[in-house]
């Protein structure tokens, strides 16, 4: 590995920070920060802000009245043009009380606890990358560090903040957990999460059934048609995961509802399946029933581009110089990296420390990967061209 003086200084600074990274990780894992727990998310943000302030890095809070506040830190850079964006989310999928029930623990170099890999370890790693530049003379290009508060519910409040931060970026590294294989993610499916409300007309099911219009009947017909949209060969999946309806067993159901999870590989598939779902929802069958989409959230897909492939090649070469091998993986899971890629920013995902078991009590993070993954991210920024990329936008629908 041939390093210049600047690279050696940054990597050496990070090499001594394993214990400090683990200490900060323990502190934020101990804070419940489920996606609907704004106070908890904001407490995590306060800890991160304190850590950045201690390194002399200014921060800005982008407040939201209902969701967790976003935290943005920015470092100036030497080169003009595009900037680097380090991205991560502070929220988890776990309810209040989980941090006390399953506290942060380390055994044989493996850390456990709610959100330890997804993605509090990635947040810690990103912070230390920024601190490494601050401590060794500054970043080679302008550097933005964004910590968001609602990724696990499809980023309804932070999406515009993420897109704004990514526009014009030379590169985006999203520190979702590295795969259990040690790989990063170069492609992700997009997702739609839709809630549909169906109304009918109530009637006594024994005395005057003909006067009713069953919302459950309508729901059942729609479910069959929705599931028929699934195309596994093309990578499009449609799953009605929740369904409910009715008021009593002897009443023709006046209301029903369902929730749909939709996944797709690219923007064309997203638009096609969305149009088909809207047509099914609009059908008034049987007569006297109606349906509408009442909640609509989702992620854009992370689709490989030439710029994204070049970023992966750069990162993989940096990883080799650090001492580990990495390949790119595809996953059906979705993330904020789809938003950054869709505005034209070269994006690489799952650059965080290696972990697994996300969203389960078995979630873990390999602490021995924290420093090497931080070093690989820092070296990628040091070696990246700083040219500004074109600004584009792909709409969700």
User: What is d(CA 307, CA 123) in angstroms, rounded to the nearest whole number?
Assistant: 24
Omega into 119 within 30° of 0, i.e. cis? yes
Structure token pair of residue 181: 């294989």
How crowded is the C-beta side of 232, counted as CA atoms within 13 Å? Answer: 2
CA 133 to chain centroid, in Å, comes to 25
User: What is d(CA 40, CA 156) in angstroms, rounded to the nearest whole number?
Assistant: 18
* DSSP symbols for 101-138: HS--EEETTEEESTTIIIIIHHHHHHHHHHHHHHHTT-
Phi, psi angle pair for 327, to nearest 5°: -120, 165
One-letter-per-residue 3-state SS of 57-81: CCEEEECCCCCCCEEEEEECECCCC
Omega into 286 within 30° of 0, i.e. cis? yes
Inter-helix orientation angle 18-29/370-383, to 10°: 110
The DSSP bridge partners found for residue 330 are: 187
The residues that are catalytic are: 91, 151
């Amino acid at each position: 590995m041939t390093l210049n003086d600047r690279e050696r200084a940054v990597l050496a600074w990070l090499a001594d920070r394993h214990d400090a990274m683990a200490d900060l990780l323990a502190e934020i894992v101990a804070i419940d920060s489920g996606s609907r727990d704004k106070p908890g998310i904001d407490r995590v943000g306060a800890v991160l802000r304190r850590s950045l302030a201690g390194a002399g890095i200014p921060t800005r809070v982008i407040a939201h009245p209902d969701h967790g506040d976003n935290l943005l830190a920015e470092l100036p850079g030497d080169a003009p043009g595009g900037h680097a964006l380090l991205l991560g989310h502070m929220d988890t999928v776990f309810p209040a009380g989980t941090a006390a029930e399953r506290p942060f623990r380390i055994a044989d170099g493996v850390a456990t606890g709610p959100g330890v890999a997804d993605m509090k370890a990635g947040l810690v790693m990103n912070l230390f990358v920024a601190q490494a530049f601050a401590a060794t003379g500054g970043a080679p290009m302008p550097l933005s560090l964004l910590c968001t508060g609602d990724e696990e519910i499809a980023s309804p409040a932070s999406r515009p903040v993420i897109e704004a931060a990514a526009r014009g970026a030379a590169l985006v590294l999203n520190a979702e957990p590295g795969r259990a294989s040690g790989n990063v993610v170069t492609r992700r499916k997009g997702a739609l999460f839709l809630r549909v409300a169906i109304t009918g007309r109530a009637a006594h099911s024994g005395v005057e059934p003909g006067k009713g219009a069953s919302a459950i009947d309508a729901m059942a017909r729609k479910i069959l048609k929705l599931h028929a949209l699934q195309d596994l060969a093309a990578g499009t999946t449609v799953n009605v995961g929740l369904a409910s309806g009715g008021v009593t067993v002897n009443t023709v159901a006046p209301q029903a509802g369902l929730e749909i999870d939709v996944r797709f590989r690219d923007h064309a598939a997203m638009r096609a399946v969305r149009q088909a779902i809207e047509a099914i929802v609009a059908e008034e069958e049987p007569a006297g029933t109606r349906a509408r989409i009442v909640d609509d959230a989702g992620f854009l897909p992370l689709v490989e581009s030439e710029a994204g492939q070049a970023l992966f090649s750069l990162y993989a070469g940096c990883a080799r110089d650090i001492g580990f091998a990495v390949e790119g993986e595809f996953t059906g899971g979705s993330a904020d990296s789809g938003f950054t890629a869709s505005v034209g920013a070269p994006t690489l995902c799952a650059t965080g420390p290696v972990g697994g078991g996300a969203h389960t009590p078995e979630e873990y993070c390999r602490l021995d990967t924290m420093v090497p993954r931080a070093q690989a991210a820092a070296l990628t920024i040091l070696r990246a061209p700083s040219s500004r990329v074109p600004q584009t936008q792909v709409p969700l629908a």
